[in-house]
């Protein structure tokens, strides 16, 4: 087992706590650049937390659920997978849905980084500290 239910619950609690801190404006030790902390209307931290939740779900599906089908295929071959199709396809659909949502959340984070850091620097505007150094990019 990759991750116990207890570990998944701890992660969920940590993400809830982080989101509550971010909503209050407390970004200490978050690693978020200053301009992302105050990105008006973008709230990239919400998308970041949502992406972490989706990633946790994807990891669970791949590491726990899909491994069961892999073991079934290894033991019973194609016949086993064909017989498991009524359960396998909904799992694939759930995985595809989670991956679509993960992609959407990461695109929101990327958009916020572009708008608040990359484009601002390209226009010669100052970027709120803390911010990535020029050597980091």
Helices 44-60/85-113 angle, 10° precision: 160
Distance in angstroms (rounded) separating the CA atoms of residues 9 and 36:
27
pLDDT of 7-33, one tens digit each? 888 999 998 988 888 778 777 766 666
Q: How many CB atoms lie within 10 A of CB 53?
A: 19
126 vs 54: which has the higher pLDDT: 54
Question: What are 63-101's pLDDT values in tens digits?
Answer: 889 999 999 999 999 998 899 999 999 999 999 999 999
Listed in sequence order, the DSSP H helices in the chain are 5-23, 34-37, 44-60, 66-83, 85-113, 119-122
Q: What is the per-residue pLDDT for 39?
A: 55
- Spatial distance between the Cα atoms of 46 and 32, rounded to a whole number of angstroms: 12
């Amino acid at each position: 087992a990759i991750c116990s239910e207890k570990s998944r619950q701890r992660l969920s609690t940590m993400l809830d706590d982080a989101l509550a801190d971010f909503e209050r404006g407390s970004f200490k030790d978050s690693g978020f650049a200053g301009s992302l902390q105050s990105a008006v209307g973008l709230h990239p931290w919400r998308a970041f937390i949502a992406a972490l939740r989706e990633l946790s779900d994807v990891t669970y599906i791949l590491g726990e659920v899909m491994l069961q089908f892999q073991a079934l295929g290894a033991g019973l071959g194609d016949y086993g997978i064909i017989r498991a199709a009524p359960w396998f396809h909904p799992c694939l659909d759930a995985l595809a849905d989670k991956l679509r949502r993960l992609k959407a959340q990461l695109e929101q984070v990327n958009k916020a980084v572009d708008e608040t850091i990359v484009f601002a620097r390209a226009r010669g505007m100052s970027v709120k500290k803390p911010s990535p150094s020029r050597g980091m990019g």
